Chain A
Amino acid sequence: MVDIISQGINLPLPLLMLLLGGLTSLMVGLLSERIGVAKLREIWMIIVSTATLTSIYYLNQSVQKAGVLVISIWGQLPPLGGCFEIDTLSIFMSGSIAVLGFLVALYSISYMEKESRLTEFYTLMTFMMAGMTGVVMAGDMFTLFVFWELMGLSSYVLVAFLKSKWGPIEAGFKYLVMSATAGAFLILSMAIIYGMTGTLNFAAIADNLRGAAVSPWIIALFSTLVVGFGVKSAIVPLHTWLPDAHPEAPSPISALLSGIVIETGLYALARVLFLTFDPGMFKLPIAFLAVLTMTLANVMALLQTDIKRLLAYSSIAQVGYMLIGLAAGTTYGFMALFLHIFNHSMMKGMAFLASGSIVHETGTRDISSLRGIGKMMPVTSLSLFIALLGLGGVPGTNGFISKYHLFSAAFGSGLGWLGIMGVLNSALSMAYYIRIMQVLLGSPKEGFKANEAPILMLTVTMAMAAIIVILGIWPAPLINFATSASQSLVEGLSTYIGAVLG
């Protein structure tokens, strides 16, 4: 049932590809400056992300055969050494990361053309993807923390990448201070886990702590975990960095940050909370946070005048919907959560990429001065239109499918009020999406001119729009994959524990 790989130094293949690709892309960048071959870095980035996608496909085959794949890093067997523990859920998440990363890499070839320091840009982007892949594959708390910090460090620098303006630096500093504080809370939570169980391995934690009686230490552990993971995944009292950091980053990075980085935080929260506590214990607090997150983010999004800032608030609202799945705590709820993670990565990634094309061509982010842009950039506006319909949950897009499953999971697990709040918020959120649509379709002012985006950017956004519509009409394969992912988390818990503790 279980494969254990423990000879020598081992890393999962996708992670190895990304780490080596990040290290070599520095040299490739230097080389391209020396020999004067244009686009060598970009081509290298495409090669690395294609190799990652392929290796995830092969890893998936060996995981499907083995059930759970345990890879120990230094040859020291778990639970004593650090390890990677890969199940279907890890494959699902790393697949979402690699797909979005590939599309964003294609897009940024044309978007970042005029910027300097591209070697650093692509290196940091590869390391950010490596960090996320490591987080979703980690088998103990400390391996998770190391890759968490790798992801965090690269994203701090990428947010502050356009350092000649004041906004990115300010947003980057705010992001860094809040995330570093959350990191301190995570180390504290690890110390508490270590004090209670003597180990940090996920399987051993689940074996020792699940179903323990509620004591002050358990409460302290719960709150430090929620604060530690909640800052990265922007749960409402801890969200204040997000509406600054996501709009100020370059648009491809905004797409990656909003599309998948905050969801990686949510994955870590779901995995660790489910392994450490019974769902009955964290149900009510998480449901409360979900309502707070959705409502506040939707109300704040109504007030925005900056298109990327509005999309950033909409990301916070979507995190609130995803928390509903975590609060339900059943297989069905987790299925809806992971389904929405993939769908949201497509929808929000595309919304940021399309609005990035608009910002790239017009140079402004103010919604009211973009009136009539649909006449000048019809293809980009069409794809942005589809993304906004998906985010609002209109039937026929994949956003409807996953929201339907999320809300019915809430009803199914006795949290009817949470489902009703979700439906109400979803209706409220259409208000600001319709505002953008109205601006896109309105008649332009005199003298307002913009050209259609370059062909590569159009190709990427149209491909993502096609994915959104296809998954909205024919969602069965993705639902099956998400179901087996959530089954490996909930029902496969004993396999997960048995893989390490035997």
Chain B
Amino acid sequence: MVPLEPFLVSVGLMFVIGLYSLMVKRDMVRILIGVEILFNSANLCFIALSTQVPGFVDPYAHSIVMMAIVLDGTVIAVGLAMVMNVYKHYKTIDIRKLRRLKW
């Protein structure tokens, strides 16, 4: 059985890094990368927990993570398409320029 603690610590670290890049970064592509880091940390948590069954590694968690990766990819693809449209309108992908909608 693989020890769980190092994995959980790295899941927590990746989660904090993802939230940090969501909140602090100005580049829209970097924000999407932050979302991707969040997704990956959750997937890593799944994989780490699947090794904790005595005797074997649970295939159920792996099949779920496979599907989840596909879903993350589609979400990010739609996001990148929107970034392209933003670039067409504003000629920049700086998130601070998108301040016309508020309240």
B13: Cβ under 8 A from any A Cβ: no
10 example contacts (A-B, Cβ-Cβ < 8 A) are as follows: A153-B74, A167-B100, A176-B79, A180-B39, A183-B71, A188-B41, A191-B42, A191-B49, A192-B45, A198-B58
- Residues of chain A within 8 A (CB-CB) of B32 are 177
CB pair A187–B68 under 8 Å, yes or no, is yes
Q: Which of B39-75 contact A (CB under 8 A)?
A: 39, 41-43, 45-46, 49-50, 52-53, 58, 60-61, 64, 67-68, 71-72, 74-75
CB pair B71–A146 under 8 Å, yes or no, is yes
CB pair A170–B98 under 8 Å, yes or no, is yes
Quick check: which of A47-55, A156-164, A230-238, A441-449 contacts chain B, the rest being far away? A156-164
- Kindly state the separation between the CA atoms of A185 and B75 in the bound complex, as whole angstroms: 15
- Kindly state the separation between the CA atoms of A176 and B72 in the bound complex, as whole angstroms: 12
Name B residues whose Cβ lies closer than 8 Å to a Cβ of A: 15, 18, 22, 28, 31-32, 35, 38-39, 41-43, 45-46, 49-50, 52-53, 58, 60-61, 64, 67-68, 71-72, 74-76, 78-79, 82-83, 85-86, 89-90, 98, 100-101, 103
With A173-B83, A176-B75, A183-B75 already in contact, the answer to whether A303 and B49 are too (CB < 8 A) is no
A300: Cβ under 8 A from any B Cβ: yes
CB distance from B97 to the nearest CB of A (A): 10
Contact of A160 among B15, B75, B82 (CB under 8 A): B82
Interface size for A (C-beta < 8 A) is 42
Contact of B89 among A169, A195, A199 (CB under 8 A): A169
- Kindly state the separation between the CA atoms of A44 and B76 in the bound complex, as whole angstroms: 31
- Residues of chain B within 8 A (CB-CB) of A225 are none
- Residues of chain A within 8 A (CB-CB) of B42 are 184-185, 187-188, 190-191
A214: Cβ under 8 A from any B Cβ: no
CB pair A149–B82 under 8 Å, yes or no, is no
- Residues of chain B within 8 A (CB-CB) of A368 are none
- Residues of chain A within 8 A (CB-CB) of B71 are 145-146, 149, 183
Contact of B75 among A152, A167, A171, A303 (CB under 8 A): A152
A172: Cβ under 8 A from any B Cβ: yes
Query: Which residue of A is nearest B61, CB measured?
Result: A194
A243: Cβ under 8 A from any B Cβ: yes
CB distance from A117 to the nearest CB of B (A): 14
Query: Which residue of A is nearest B58, CB measured?
Result: A198
Contact of A194 among B49, B75, B103 (CB under 8 A): B49
CB distance from A13 to the nearest CB of B (A): 24
CB pair A183–B79 under 8 Å, yes or no, is no
A360: Cβ under 8 A from any B Cβ: no
A200: Cβ under 8 A from any B Cβ: yes
Contact of B78 among A176, A184, A195 (CB under 8 A): A176
